[in-house]
């Protein structure tokens, strides 16, 4: 968290499997305007390793990346707004 204690709510926009490693899930969350993203990697250690993925997370602003491509920004914005409209932040998705 930043020294001011502020965080930014970001919404799940993409879930992919890593090409490089087995059992690694990459979760991408973005701001509703699609301008910034937060990437979270989750290693699945076994088939019984069940951890919920929530519709949104709170991210430190220093850990947000900038979405450079306009088509990607638009895609992220559309999906983040859809998730925000359909889910509470703590909903398992």
Across the chain, mean pLDDT equals 89
Span 26-41, average pLDDT = 97
Domain ranges in the chain?
A: 8-86
Strand order in the sheet with 65-66: 56-59, 8-17, 24-30, 36-43, 65-66
Name the 3-class secondary structure at 88: coil
pLDDT score for 23: 76
pLDDT score for 48: 61
């Amino acid at each position: 968290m930043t020294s001011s204690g502020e965080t930014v709510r970001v919404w799940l926009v993409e879930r992919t499997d890593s090409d490089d490693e087995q059992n690694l899930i990459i979760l991408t969350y973005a701001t509703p305007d699609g301008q910034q993203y937060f990437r979270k990697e989750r290693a699945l250690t076994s088939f019984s390793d069940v951890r919920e993925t929530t519709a949104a997370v709170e991210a430190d602003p220093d850990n947000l990346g900038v979405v450079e491509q306009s088509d990607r920004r638009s895609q992220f914005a559309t999906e983040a707004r859809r998730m925000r409209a359909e889910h509470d932040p703590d909903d398992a998705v």
